[in-house]
Structure formats: C-alpha cells, structure tokens
Chains A and B, each alone.
Chain A
Amino acid sequence: MRAFLLAVPLLIFLAATFVVPIGKLLIMSVETVEVANAFPRTAALLAGLPGPPALPSRQIFEALAADLETAQDQGTLAAAARRLNTYEPGFRSLLLKTVRQLPLPDGEPADKAFQRIDQRWGEPETWRLLGRAAHRWTLDFLLTAVDHKIGAGGTIEPVEASQAIYVGAFLRTFAISASVALICLVLGYPVAFVLATLPARQSNLLMIFVIVPFWTSLLVRTTAWYVLLQPNGVFNALLTRSGLTAAPVALMFNRTGVLIGMTHVLLPFMILANYAVMRGISPDYQRAAVSLGAHPALAFLRIYVPLTLPGIGTGTFLVFVLALGYYITPALLGGAGDEMISQLVALQINRQLNWGLAGALSVYLVVFTLTVYVVFNRLVGVDRLRLG
C-alpha cells in the first residue's frame, strides 16, 4: 500500500501525459462535432430523416438557412465548412457562397432559393454528406485512414485512386521500420557480441561510443547527417574523389537517407538490448559445445545465437516500434515518396486542422503497435525487455 502511494505521482503524470491525450485522440477519431454545433437545427432534422438519400423537405432548407446565419455570427461556420470540405472538396466554397446571399429574399421558398444560389443544393448527394457530417459519432475518419468511404449507396467502398494515400503510407511505414530493424540487427548484433566478449576495459571504452549519441539531440544528429549526405557533402566528396563513383550519388531526399538516418539513431537500442542478454551468457556454453566436438562456428550458430534470441527479439521489437512513430528524421532526410504515417498525422494536425483524421491514423498506429507488442510478448516475453 505504501509502495503504491510512492508510485502515485508517477501514475498521475502518466495519466496526464499519456492516457488522457491518447484517449482523447481515440475519441476524436470517431467524434465530429463541428457541423452538429454549427447547424444544430438542421442536424436534428436530418437525423430524423429515414431511408435512402433524397432531397429534403423545405422545412430543412429553412432550418439550414437560419443555422447558416447564426453560425456565421457565432464564428462556428469556418470549422463546419472545413469539416464538410474533407468529404467533398468544394463544400466550403458552396457554404460561403450561400451564406453571402443570406438572408433570403422575402417570399422566395428556401428550397428554390438555395437551388438558385447553387444547383448542388438540388442534389441528394450534397444532403447525404451534410447528414453524415451532422452526426456526432462517425466512422468516416477511420474509413478515410484506410482509403475507404461510405459511398452514395451507403456501402463501404474504396476512395478514388488519386486520393488513396494512407494505406500506402502505412505499408511504407511498416516497410521502412522493418528495414531499419533488420539493418540495425545486422549491424548491431556483432557490435554487441564484441562488447560482451571483450575484456572490461576495452569494452567500457567502446560502450562510450555507443552511448554518446544518446546524449545528443535527435535533431542535431539528423542535421549532421543532412550535412554529411548532401550531394556536395562529405560522403559524396569521398566517393567521387576516391573514384568509386563518377558523379555524386543521391544519398538524401530518398529512402537511402531515411534508412541511414533512422538506423543511426536507433542502433544503440539494438546494441544495448543484445548486449544486456549476451553479457549474461556464460562463455562456458560455447566452450562446452566446442569441447563436445562442434566447430566454433557451428557452436555459435546452434548454441550461442539461440541463447541470444531474447536480445534479438527485444532489440528488433524496440527498434521496430520506435521506428513506426518516427517523424523528424524521415521529414528531413526523406523525399516525396518516403513519408511515414507520423508525418501525415502531423500534417493533418498542423495544416489541415483535421484532428479527426489525425486521430484515426493514430488509432491504427496504436492498434498495430499493440499487436506487435502482443506477438512479441508471446514469442519472447516482455519481462525480457531490459536494457543494460
């Protein structure tokens, strides 16, 4: 009980910085309040409409006209317009165009007036989208995040190829993270082995080289690569001057740059995870295998490597999961085709102000990460997740 009390500040901190924001993001991914808030009367009436989309009654046109005016006065119109625009580019201009002509001339029926202002008001699709957006709870963000939408027929269908960008981004994120994890394993495993088998003095010295990058800001390190990898940077100077290549090689603003940068940043995790496991392996196992007649290489493969599987698992898991959320490095070193999901999330939040879609993308990322975690836990065991 007292131990629990000691942990309370941490629990509060975690709740405030972790559980609450993530929970909020999750809710945001299924909640959309802009339209319902801006057009309360229209929303209420549209919600009561049954059946397939059709032109609504005149009463609803009147309600919308009234709602548009209040929304403009109260300043909620812009958010609603932005939200509607995510369904159909052009919705915003439609609303703004309409609102400029309000109030309607006396005597003219609202439905006729609207259709005079813009013929789109005469299309059932416009009203269907307005109705969807007016719902407080929606699956639209979650569908958009996997390049799907609810079509006119009310069924789930893929979006047009030109707008299908998120599944590709997810796959790319997965591919980049997996590549980085693999490269880190190939590079880090031997280093960890050397660190674990070298006498303590040399090992400690080497360890400093592994840890120092940890003390340096991520941004600084990425910027350093930025300098190194430029077409007229250090690497290309070496390559061309040594005659290995005739012209500078594109090492950044492409996948190569992303992989180099992320591998460098994440390599210490792989090394430390493997080192922690390897340090605990008695050299007697290898010796025993060799004394029993196994060639050292065979003993290494059949005895040593299996014993290090927890380290391999932990390191790969850590690097993979950390890579999934990477943002700065791919943004600085990557090209147009290397956007990772986090960049798209940031884009939705910073530029498009589309928190719902950002939330939905995050939901998939979180769910995927949790899946990886569960699989990892099954295979390796989370209690193995230790560093140093």
Chain B
Amino acid sequence: MVTGRASAVQRRPASKPLVTFSNIDKTYDGEAFVTRNLNFMIEEGEFLSLLGPSGSGKTTTLMMLAGFEAPSSGAIYLGEKRLNETPPHRRNIGMVFQNYALFPNMTVAENIAFPLSVRRVPKFERQNRVERALEMIELAHVAERRPSQLSGGQQQRVALARALVFEPRLVLMDEPLGALDKNLRETMQYEIMRLHERLGLTVVYVTHDQSEALTMSDRVAVFHHGRIQQIASPKVLYEDPANAFVANFIGENNGLSGKVTARDARFATLELTPELSIRGRVGEGISIGTAATLALRPENVSLDDETMPGDIRLRGTIDEVIYCGDHWRLHLTAADRAGFVIKVPNKTATAPPQPGRIATMSWSPADCKIVEADAAR
C-alpha cells in the first residue's frame, strides 16, 4: 500500500524553494472560501501531489499557480519573483489537463510545436526539438496524425511532450490520468515518474486517488475544505497523520473517537467508554478534555496471540471474515462500536478465524496515535 519513493528521502536537503504560496485565500463569491490560508513551498526538482476529495480546492490552487485564477489575498512567488501580476502566458509553466486539451485542428507534431512557434523558435530548431520530444514519448511514428486518431494513453503522452518541450521550470498536472483505465494508468504513472527523474522536473500533480499520490510523490499535500490538512512525505502521512481527516482519508483506519483524559509529552489517553481508555502517541493540538480520534492501521493489530508486554488489549466480537488471499480481513465490534477492521496474515498453520467468536486484539501504543477529531471546518 505505502510505497513512496526511495529518492524522495535522499534528495531532500539543500534545495531552494521554487514556488512559495504565502497566505493564499481564494473565494469566488466573497463568502465561501475555496482555499484558505495556503502556506507552503515547492522545492526545485520536487514531485508534489495535491490530494483531496472532489471540491476540496485542488484545481483552484493549481489554477492560481498557472495564473488562470487570481488569489483573493496572499502572494505566490516563483523563485524570488512575485507571480501574482504575471499573466499566465508569461509564467512559463507547463500544464497537462485531464482531458489533454490537445488541439484537434492540429497534428501531433503541430501540437508539440505550438509552444515553440509562439516563442518564435527558429524553424530548424523547432523541428529538432519536436523530433526529440516525440522520441522521448516514443511516438515519432504518429507525428502527422490528428489527436483524435490516437488512443487515450498516446494522447496523454503527447500532452506531456507538449507541456515539456519548451522546458518549463515547473509542470502542473490536473488529474492527468483520470480518464485512463487501470493498467494504462499504472504505465503512465511510471512514465511520468521516469520523466520527472530524468529531466529533473518540478511537478505539481493534482489527484483524488490516494494510491497514485502515495506512489508517485516526494511529498503530498492533503486538501480538505480548501485547507491543507497536512503536507508531508507519503511515509509520514501514512504513519503519522496530523489529524482524523488525514488518518481516515489515506489508507484504512480504525478511527474510534473519544475524549482525551490525560496527556504527557509523548503519549495521550483517549477515553472511548467510561470503562475503556486507550493510550497512544500524542498528536498535534491534543489537550485534555477535547474530542479526539484514534489513528490505528488495521495491519498493526494482532489477533489473540503475539502480545508483547505493554501492548494495548481490546476485546471484540468477530462479525465478518473476508478472505483476501495473503490475509484475512476481519470486521469486529469492539468498545460498543461496529466496524473495527483488522488484517490477519494468512498462515497455513493457523485455522481461519470464525465469525461470532470473541477475540482479543492487541497493538503497541507506538503504532497508534491520538489525533485531533475532524474539524467541522
């Protein structure tokens, strides 16, 4: 599930911010904020994903960076330069659209030549660069075709080549693989990552598909209601979610909610029922008396055995057992709440768990976290 990119961790130090969002608010109608208080940087060479449910403001953020929407307040910088007043055609930012937006009245080669011809690149050089771009996407043989004669994946690659051929400092992609089927998606994910690596691109990538974001990105910004909930590497997002929204949105979570009754520097106690309290690592913004949520991944919970000293134990009734090949997926009722999910490795030695049985679950306090409940907004 969580793959992340090895390179992400290594490349981190010493790069300068290429893009800076500073206190960006955006509202279309003067009342509802589509994005609110955006503050983040994108480093040179970074692959940053904007992840969030539909309507959370990802596209709007991208459009403000591209220049098609103006921030209601705040500033965007490209390098040292304030970008707000630069019209979109002078920003030199490559952009890939969800439906490719290839010009249907031009051939593939003309499409790719377009950014060069508007920049008055001499004809000979233009041809050279178009040829190189076509080789890069391995589509030299369709140069003279119209976009409508290409498959979805080919169109996507042409759109990429067109956005890259003028060597922009920054490439934006808005759900670029949204229209492709699953296999093609994976191939294209790989291809985009390869190009990112090879050309040293800085990419801002919008998606609502968490596995895509986790696989491809150096860092992911999780959007909800126009705010960035957390911006971090995939590993940190998954293992150390900042709040209940992130914990529930990314991967699976046993988000039991309760009230905080104690906390110290490292741990907090969450009261689920008067009889039952659970200890876990303390998240940001947790104070005694506030509502909070448990962040506990199903695969971190063991069943019946394997208890270590200090582990947390919780009894529950098995409601449902689903066979998933390499593991069993169990739905239990625990602490008076149905829907507790755990994953049990499928070892030939052990008998399959039976529904209706009372089971004891256990996990290490280090594997669970007490995080802020989903803020109303």
Contact = CB atoms under 8 A, between A and B. Distances in A.
Is this pair of chains taken from one and the same complex? Answer: yes
Interface of A: 282, 284-285, 287-296, 298-299, 303, 306-307
A291 B95 contact: yes
B158 to A, nearest CB: 12
B163 A292 contact: yes
How many B residues are at the interface, by size bracket?
20 to 34
Contacts of B345: none
Contacts of A306: 105
B97 A296 contact: no
Contacts of B166: 292-293
Nearest to B91: A291
A291 B99 contact: no
Interface of B: 66, 68, 87-95, 97, 99, 101, 103-105, 114-115, 118-119, 162-163, 166, 172
Contacts of A307: 104-105
A291 B90 CA distance: 8
B94 A291 contact: yes
Given A282-B99, A284-B97, A288-B95, A294 B105 contact: no
B92 A293 contact: yes
**Minimum-distance CB pairs A-B, first 3:** A288-B101, A292-B115, A291-B95
Contact of B88 (A284, A285, A291): A291
A119 to B, nearest CB: 73
Contacts of B162: 292
A299 B90 CA distance: 13
Contacts of A296: 87, 89
Contacts of B90: 293
Nearest to B166: A293
25 contacts: A282-B101, A284-B97, A284-B99, A285-B101, A285-B103, A287-B88, A287-B95, A288-B103, A289-B103, A290-B89, A291-B68, A291-B93, A291-B163, A291-B172, A292-B94, A292-B95, A292-B114, A292-B115, A293-B118, A294-B89, A294-B115, A295-B89, A296-B89, A299-B89, A307-B105
A340 B103 CA distance: 43
A282 B88 CA distance: 18
A291 B95 CA distance: 6
A293 B119 contact: yes
B236 to A, nearest CB: 32
Given A290-B88, A291-B88, A291-B94, A284 B114 contact: no
B25 to A, nearest CB: 22
Given A287-B95, A291-B91, A291-B93, 8 more contacts: A282-B99, A285-B101, A287-B66, A287-B88, A291-B163, A292-B163, A294-B115, A307-B104
A80 to B, nearest CB: 62
A295 B117 CA distance: 12
Contacts of A284: 97, 99, 101
A287 B105 contact: no
A307 B104 CA distance: 8
Contacts of B95: 287-288, 291-292
